[in-house]
Amino acid sequence: MTQEATEEKQTKPLLPFIKVPDNYPDEEAYIWGSKCSDCGSQFLGERLACGKCGGQTFEEVRFSDEGEVYVFSVVHQGVEEPFVGAIVDLKDGPSVRATISGLDPAKVDAGYRDWFGTKVKMYIEKVATDREGNDVIAAKFKVV
Amino acid sequence: MRDVAVVGVNMIKFGRYPDKDVVRLASEATIGALKDAGCTINDVEILVSGNLYQSNAMVGQRIMKEIGATGIPVINVANACATGSTAFRDAWMSVASGAYDVALAVGSEQMGKMGLLGGGGGGDRAYRTEGVMGTGIMPGVFGQAGVEHMRKYGTTQEQFAKVAVKNHHHSMGNPYAQYQKETPLEDVLNARPVAWPNTLFMCCPTGDGGAAAVLMSAEKAKQYTTNPAWVAASVLTSDPYQERNPTMTDINTVTRIAAKEAYETAGLGPEDLSQVELHDCFATAELLHYENLGLCGDGEAGQLIDEGATAIGGRIPVNASGGLLSKGHPLGATGVANIVELVWHLRGEAGDRQVENSKVGLAHVIGLGSACTINIIKK
Ligand SMILES: [Zn+2]
């Protein structure tokens, strides 16, 4: 049983809007979503209907790995090390919640005004192993 | 819709009551409100009970069993932090529609030390998103909401911190507040950071509480009081589509559409308000809502707090009760307690925190996700 489980080990996305291609890791995972055919609104992941206009036809879109920091907080609550938790506007895409590396949480008081609009790039990282032994991957962001 | 009067109100001091159950907390407030109205449970035609964490446990019916089970319709309401205020609105609708003449709105919650601040992220470590893919916990969300205001208007952490200084100062006059403690600006800024720009003193505590209000038709109210408070508007909204929502929760739009509808319904504007009890779950939120409620223009909230306009004695006192920051935020009880507070001020019964000559009060609550209620109560 153990051996079988190991053989079937898969890579799973932390959140459903991270697409793991069939030929992963030869092709890197990416953030994907749905673009409403009626009004053009874009959403992370799959949609049943458009949250803006109610349309039910969508085009599947691979979103850019590049984006800009819109806003952020430095979160201390519930974690050992504070982290920069941001909202990143993806280039030509929707916004995504993002943990940012390359901005020093300790320097927020002095430097926060310079953080707005910071260019960031998404990268994929294994963050955990689930109960079945599968790799769980997440989309993280670093300052360009 | 018919005119609806608030005839009786009551709340218990918010705090921690590990030796009582939630039905007891709710019932104490309810018996107080019935006594205040001069009526009994036998006069009540419908009960709406707001409770979030025990919303599957028939809290409303259990209150009836505790204080007098008369067989009337009972509705249990859950709407995140707007649970109590939604219960109040449902009670208002029950009377305003003409279906009932006497309705009881009860809000209750027992949270202990579980906290809104939370550890974040769900039980299965493999699927923890908090800190891995940004933040979704309340402090993070309200930190970001404040930072958006900083980005747009240059608002400073110190201006947000002044909200905590003011509300904690107001609490000194409110024996019903969970915490009565002065927090000078320096203490607020130096308190443990929770989620920038909010420090610990800029986050509301959680706890236990109960609050109740008796609502009556105008005709019925005459039999019980010569001095009722009137519901000038009772509005509930959900958040409309907005580009970054729900990735970034939007507490502004949902409030703005509620405010517009409430002012139109009441035939009043922000300039007519004597005071406001608004949803300061975090200090950052209060400044945003100054603008969302039209207390000042967009981008002027920092200046409004700097000038002291929202302190008791200022142009438009906000959170004379001490707000959620000091009064506490037992979710289901919060929205009803706001109404209790306003009615006490309108009657001139608010003790050391009394807003002079208060004639019109606005109560605002946000349930993240989002629901917004605005109730305008007038003399
Ligand atoms: Zn659409």
What mean pLDDT do residues A95-123 have? 98
CB contact under 8 Å between B134 and A85, yes or no, is: yes
For B2-11, b/e burial (b = at least 16 CB within 10 A) is eebbbbbbbb
**DSSP secondary structure of B168-201:** HHHHTT-TTSS------HHHHHHSPEEETTEEGG
Of B168, B289, B329, B364, catalytic: B329
What's the domain count of chain B? 1
Q: Which of B44, B82, B41, B76 is nearest to B61 (CA)?
A: B76
A63: chain B residues, CB-CB within 8 Å: none
CA distance linking residue B355 with residue B275, whole number of Å: 7
* Protein residues near ligand 1, an ion, with CB under 5 A: A 36, 38-39, 41, 50, 52-53, 55
Please give the structure tokens belonging to residue B80.
């995140």
CA distance linking residue A136 with residue A129, whole number of Å: 6
B289 part of the active site: no
A83: chain B residues, CB-CB within 8 Å: 131, 135
CB contact under 8 Å between B248 and A95, yes or no, is: yes
Q: Decide if B64 is inside a domain.
A: yes
Please give the structure tokens belonging to residue A81.
């090390």
- ipTM (interface pTM): 0.94
**Chain A interface includes B117 (CB < 8 A):** yes
What is the interface size between A and B, counted as CB pairs within 8 Å?
Answer: 135
Question: Alpha helices of B222-317 — where are they, by DSSP H?
Answer: 253-266, 283-292, 301-306
CATH (domain of B358):
3.40.47.10
Q: Decide if B136 is inside a domain.
A: no
Positive or negative: CA dihedral A21, A25, A26, A32: positive
pLDDT at res. B4: 98
Gap from A23 CA to chain B (nearest CA, Å): 23
Please give the structure tokens belonging to residue B302.
């920092």
Instruction: Evaluate if residue A1 carries a pLDDT over 50.
Output: no
**DSSP secondary structure of B51-100:** -STTTTS-HHHHHHHHH------EEEE-BTBTHHHHHHHHHHHHHHTTS-
DSSP letter at B42 equals G
CB contact under 8 Å between A97 and B247, yes or no, is: yes
pLDDT digits (tens, 9 = 90+) for A39-87: 999 999 999 999 999 999 999 999 999 999 999 999 999 999 999 999 9
A10: chain B residues, CB-CB within 8 Å: none
Q: How far is the CA of B243 from the centre of ligand 1 (A)?
A: 12
> Are the C-beta atoms of residues B350 and B320 closer than 8 Å to each other?
yes
Residue of A nearest to B142 (CA): A73
The residues spanned by each domain of chain A are 10-143
Gap from B46 CA to chain A (nearest CA, Å): 36
Q: Decide if B343 is inside a domain.
A: yes
CB contact under 8 Å between B132 and A99, yes or no, is: yes
Average pLDDT, rounded, for chain A: 94
Q: What is the pLDDT along chain B (379 residues), one digit of tens a residue?
A: 999 999 999 999 999 999 999 999 999 999 999 999 999 999 999 999 999 999 999 999 999 999 999 999 999 999 999 999 999 999 999 999 999 999 999 999 999 766 555 544 445 677 899 999 999 999 999 999 999 999 999 999 999 999 999 999 999 999 999 999 999 999 999 999 999 999 999 999 989 999 999 999 999 999 999 999 999 999 999 999 999 999 999 999 999 999 999 999 999 999 999 999 999 999 999 999 999 999 999 999 999 999 999 999 999 999 999 999 999 999 999 999 999 999 999 999 999 999 999 999 999 999 999 999 999 999 9
> Are the C-beta atoms of residues B84 and B336 closer than 8 Å to each other?
yes
Domain that holds residue B306: 4-114+204-378
